[in-house]
Amino acid sequence: MQLTKHAHACVTIEKDGTRLVIDPGTLTPDAAEAVGGADAVLITHEHFDHFDEKLVAASLEARPELEVYGTAAVAAALGSHGGRVHTVAAGDAFTAGSFTVTVHGDLHAPIHADIPRPDNVGYLLDDGALYHPGDAYFAPGADVRTLLLPTSGPWTKLGEAADYVRAVGPERVLQIHELMLSDLGQESTARILGEGGLTGVPIGRLAPGATVRL
């Protein structure tokens, strides 16, 4: 399995001829290129930085083979497209090409009592090879080898992130959702949370466009 990091929360995962894209949002400059080569798009929730509605809708129109998975709000925004847009929720499982996917979690992490919490799901690939939680510190209750950890945003907090990594217990962590952090902030976050810090788990940083084998 090969993972390519894009800006913010978006990643591409490839294995055995199947390419998945998770959370292509409007803050990801190359989202159109990523989605253009995807067999399936997985969306954790409807916020603009995770879901570029116009891009995904246009891709569905242009590419009749494309499948999209997301929350009820995502599916409602896109329409059915002949059954190629799939509504998913916690407890669901599906196959996308060579990948098996299970769905976990239910709500976006709280920002403030005055701000509604949309539905948010996380995607666990291939029996724990990779977990993308979207915008939530939800532990999937399964073995996770690589955890994608959101490290910046109005809802994130280092102490809660440390407890989350401890609860999940992954073999390694890769930072995502880091766009609001400077280079110094990302280094500091990795140092505080990482192998020599609060979790004892290696935390990697990937520049947009970088690829790693999982």
**pLDDT number for residue 85:** 98
**pLDDT number for residue 12:** 98
Cβ of 97: how many Cβ atoms within 10 Å?
Answer: 15
**pLDDT number for residue 191:** 96
**pLDDT number for residue 206:** 96
Model confidence pLDDT, tens digit, residues 14-59:
999 999 999 999 999 999 999 999 999 999 999 999 999 999 999 9
CB pairs under 8 A, 24+ apart, for 105-113? 105/133, 105/134, 105/136, 105/138, 105/140, 106/138, 107/136, 108/45, 108/47, 108/134, 108/135, 108/136, 108/155, 109/135, 109/136, 109/137, 109/155, 109/156, 110/155, 111/154, 111/155
Which positions of the chain have pLDDT values less than 50?
Answer: none
**pLDDT number for residue 197:** 96
Where in the chain are the domains? 2-196
The dotted CATH code for 2-196 is: 3.60.15.10
DSSP per-residue letters across 156-213: --HHHHHHHHHHH--SEEEEES-TTS-HHHHHHHHHHHSTTTTS-S-EE---TT-EEE
3-state DSSP percent of the chain in helix, strand and coil, to 5: 20, 25, 50
Give CA–CA dist 134/114, Å, rounded: 21
**pLDDT number for residue 112:** 98
**pLDDT number for residue 144:** 98
Model confidence pLDDT, tens digit, residues 58-72:
999 999 999 999 999
Contacting residues for 78 by C-beta, under 8 A, at least 6 apart = 53, 56, 57, 60, 68, 70, 85
What pTM was estimated for this model as a whole? Answer: 0.98
